[in-house]
Structures are given as structure tokens and as C-alpha cells.
A and B are shown apart, each in its own frame.
Chain A
Amino acid sequence: MYGGGYIFEESKNGKSEAEDSEKLERFESKIAAGEKIEPSDWMPAEYRKQLIRMIEQHAHSEIIGALPEGTWITRAPGFRRKLALMAKVQDEVGHAQLLYSAAETLGKPREDMINDLITGKSKYSNVFNYPAVTWADTAIIAWLIDAGAIINQVANSKGSYGPYCRALERICVEESFHLKYGHDNVVFLATGTPKQRDMVQEALIRWWPPIMHFFGPSDKISVHTETLMRWKVKMASNDDMRQKFLDMYVPKIWELGLTIPDPLLKKNETTGQWEYTEPDWNEFKKVINGDGPCNKERLAVRRNAEEKGEWVRRALMRKDERYTVPFA
């Protein structure tokens, strides 16, 4: 999964810090020409800051995202699903590893990032603050949340920062298998027994609002990101990605005879745009600021894992060795 709905920090006065104009010009023309920025290249402080923030949020989303699905590995019905779900969640943890490494090239050590996650300083995708109530929730997550993540990540893989793009390319290949797994799982439930059908319909109702929130606040109210788009940090607007998702997946959901809980949802054939009930952005803000149904639980689990594993990490340190962090 799972990079979606990044929360960018608004720069002071809406402008980036003063930079050497000559270097900045070279940097921007390089990006405009479609070249990648590499760790040893000069980059504006604001670019570095926002990239660390974005990649870090993405990495956190992967390890926190492993929790709601991970709890269902032990209950997966049958070998086929159990093995597939284990492999999927393992992939997500692997993505976190790749992404933390990509972010480290910008100068922030993994330990600091994880610390910022468990102290609540750094965010992760809002969808993982909702519970996976039944087995069908895991099917909806694997299909639709991963689908949303792919839209976001394919766009970002064409961004300007080399290590992040390369990590994303690999991640997207794996995500496409998750999507297939999720879709297959939903198809089995939607075309299965009445109990299975009810399960998956209820899960879709539960997950629709978080899915609509997934791409982040509407462009009308979100932080201005023109500079970030010019620097190819942010590659598409939140609303554009949401439209793309609706275009690709609403017909597939309807095809399975499932009901999407939004009576206003329809495609305007004249504009080619989807019309929908505006998601509750106050709820989104509330959850992102820590007051969702599972925020405390997710962070507590993560904190517990970190605390329990501390002796292992410490045991690996040797007094006579020096430890360095890339580019810090």
C-alpha cells in the first residue's frame, strides 16, 4: 500500500527559505528537464524537508498498515488466503524498509523517524486509524485501499527524487499483486453465500468514507502545493487522484452488485467528472489529529513492539564499533 493523503507542511509566508538563486535555478531546470535529483546533489532545504516528511509518512503508513490486516493472518480461512495474506503483509513491512532507507538518504536516521511516529509527531495514512472489523474488511482494504495507493504511487514514481522513485517502482509491482489478491477475495465474497455477501457489503459501507478521505482534503481547502508540484514532489492534486480512482473502481464495484453508500455518486457525462457527497473533512482532521477509532491502539501496538525489541537492537551494538548514518 499505502501512500495517500500526505499532509504537507505549509511553509512560512507560503514561501520557501532563501536559497542561492543560481543553485536553485540549476536545480529547477534539472527537474524541468525530467532529470532525477540524487542524494549528493544540491537541493533546497524546503525540498529536503518536505520529501523527508512525505517519504516518512509513507513508510509509517506501511508499518502501521500492517497492523489491521496482520491481525487477520491468524484467522484467514484456508491455506490459499492465509499464505497470500501473510505474503502481502510481509510485502508492506518490506516497503517500509525500502522507504525508510530512501528517506535516510536525505539525512534522517530510521530510529529518529520511528521515534517521531511513536511519539505522535509524525503522521501516517488516516485510513489505518479505522478498524478491520471482519475478514471482509481485509478484502476491501487489499482491493480498494491498495488500488488508491497504486494511483498515488504510480504518480509519485515519476517524481524528481531518485531514491524515492526507484523504491516506488518496485513497490508498485508488488502492490499490483495485492490488488489482484484483494479483488479476487472480494469477488469470492460478493458472489458467495448470503453471509459472505452481507459481510462484504457491510465492509464496503464502513470503508467508503475512509476511502474517500484517502487522497487527502479537497483541493479547495488543502495547503497550496504549487512549489511542490513544480519540484515534482507532489505529482497530482488530491481531487485529480480521487477522480481517477472513482473512474477506475466505481464501475467494478457496481459490477459486483455492491452498493456504495453515497446516493449522490454519479458520473457527469458532460464534464466527465464524478460527482459525490463531499467527504466530512472535519472528521478527517479529527482523526488525523489523533482522535480516530484506532489511533491510540495503533500507536500503542507500535510503541510496544519498539520497546519489546529494544534489547535486541541494543545487543547488536558493539562497543568497539562506530555507527554512521548515511548522509546525516
Chain B
Amino acid sequence: MNGINDFTEIQTEAAKNLLYRLADDQLILGHRNSECTGLGPILEEDIAFSSMAQDKLGHSQALYQLLHNMGEKDPDTIAFTRKVNEYKCCHLVEYPIGEYDFSLMRHFLFDMSEAIRFNMLSSSSFEPLAKIARKFKGELKYHTMHAVTWINQLGTGSGESPFRIQKSLDVCFPLALGIFEPSKYEETLISEKIFFGEKALQEKWLEAVIPVLKNAGLVIPDIENVTAAYGGREGIHTEYLKPLIDEMTEVYKIDTGAEW
């Protein structure tokens, strides 16, 4: 087991890079999902999306706090003052909420990966991260339960629903593969048992999502012919991220010396 002070320089760098990727995904998707508040297709879904958005925000805050404990700035400063190319989120989380089918499919594909990721991380050699992961696991169980239920309901629903869900899957799938964009620290993370690696995660993810999608009557995109949306982990983002960050930091930047 490693604590914050047991790492070499390269290990610290690798762990921080991983934490930024995870935290930024949570922050941006939490922000996106919160945009659905008051606009859900039924009240119960409005409430559910808000609840999950709050969890995501809370997760990002906890991960930024861990980064802060490792010498980075405080969570508010990290989340609200960085330049766009300093964020390490994947493209999937950046897209606008679109219609409910897109938001739901994104939620399903992303949260399934999160559930597996934090399950893996709960046995990380980096004890502070393992501790956080064990806590997140319990919450993510409900997120995936929610997502699977709805994918099933709408994939097999009446009217235009199955068509919409299939279309959203086709749009989201390449974006979702971008979640697993490997970093230059993969080897260090794996050899130090901090994280089992993006490749291993992607495999487990496919094993988990494909049966659910098939069960909902959906056609799985041919992974060989899909180009994963990479770039986010290196700070190269879609056109959607900058307006999001500008909006998110609008009040915070009115008076940077103020306490809000």
C-alpha cells in the first residue's frame, strides 16, 4: 500500500494525471447532467438526473481534494480557473445534453465504465484513491441500475423509441471509446498497481455493456470500424468545452478575490 509520500516523482506524476482525468470527467458530465434540471421528460427522471449530477460533482470534488493533498491547488481553484486545454476530460462528457436519448445513452456508457473503473481502483495500491473508490462504488451501483433499466425500457419501448436509442448508441459509441484513451503513464500505473490500465478497463466495459445493449434489442456498432474519439486526455477538446467552461466560471470570475 502506498500513501501520498511513498511515491517517486514519476509515480506521483502518473497518479496525478490519472486523478485529473477522472475528476475532470466527473466535473464536466456532472455539469452537463445538471443542465437537465427542470427539463426532464418526466419529473421522476428530472430528479434522478439531478441526483446523479450531484454525485458526479461530489466525486470530482473528492478527487480534486486528493490532488490538493498531493500539492495541487484547492478544488475550487482547480475546477474554476484552469485554461480549457488544461482539462483532461474525454470528448463524450463535453457534448451538449441534446435530446433525452443522447443524455441517457451517454449516462449508460459512461457510468458503466465508471462502475468498473472504481471497482478496479478499490484495490489500487494507492490507498487514498482506493479508499475514495470504495465509497464511489456504492453510489455508482444505483447509477448503473438506473441506466440499465432505462436502456431496456426505451430500447424495447413503443413508437420511435428503439430507433432513437439505436441512433444515440451509434453517435455515442465512438465517443465512449475515447474514455479509454491511454496516457503515457499506463506502464507506470500498471506496474505499480495503481490502476490496471485503460485497455483492461475497456475490455471489461465491453463485456458489461454489450449484453445489456443486445438485450434491449440494439445493434452493436462494429468496433473494428469505429474510430475512438481520442484527444481529450491530452487537452485537445471539442468545440463544446470552452463555452461550458466560460459559463461555469462566469460568476466565479466576476471577483476572483471574493468568497462566494
Residues of A within 8 A of B248 (CB): 74-75
Most buried by B among A86, A304, A312: A312
- One of A47-55, A76-84, A223-231 contacting the partner: A76-84
* Given known A-B contacts A77-B252, A83-B58, A315-B157, A89 and B38 have beta carbons under 8 A apart: yes
Residues of A within 8 A of B100 (CB): 308-309, 312
Most buried by B among A74, A82, A192, A314: A82
**Helix, strand, loop or mixed for chain B's interface?**
helix
Question: CB of B142 within 8 A of chain A?
Answer: no
* Given known A-B contacts A135-B251, A311-B160, A312-B41, A93 and B50 have beta carbons under 8 A apart: yes
Question: CB of A1 within 8 A of chain B?
Answer: no
Task: State which of B46, B47, B247 has its C-beta within 8 Å of the C-beta of A74.
Answer: B247
Is B260 touching A93 in the complex (CB atoms < 8 A)? no
Within 8 A of B (CB), among A82-116: 82-83, 86-87, 89-90, 93-94, 96-97, 100
* Given known A-B contacts A100-B43, A195-B255, A196-B255, A78 and B164 have beta carbons under 8 A apart: no
Is A188 touching B259 in the complex (CB atoms < 8 A)? yes
Is B57 touching A309 in the complex (CB atoms < 8 A)? no
Residues of A within 8 A of B39 (CB): 301, 304-305, 308
Residues of A within 8 A of B79 (CB): 79
Interface size in chain B (residues, C-beta < 8 A)? 47
Residues of B within 8 A of A304 (CB): 39
* Given known A-B contacts A66-B37, A75-B248, A93-B37, A86 and B50 have beta carbons under 8 A apart: yes
Question: CB of A299 within 8 A of chain B?
Answer: no
9 CB-based A-B contacts, threshold 8 Å? A63-B43, A75-B248, A86-B37, A86-B54, A89-B37, A90-B47, A192-B255, A315-B153, A317-B158
Query: Which residues of B come within 8 Å of A, CB atoms?
Result: 31, 34-35, 37-47, 50-51, 53-54, 57-58, 61, 75-76, 79-80, 99-100, 153-154, 157-161, 164, 244, 247-248, 250-252, 254-255, 257-260
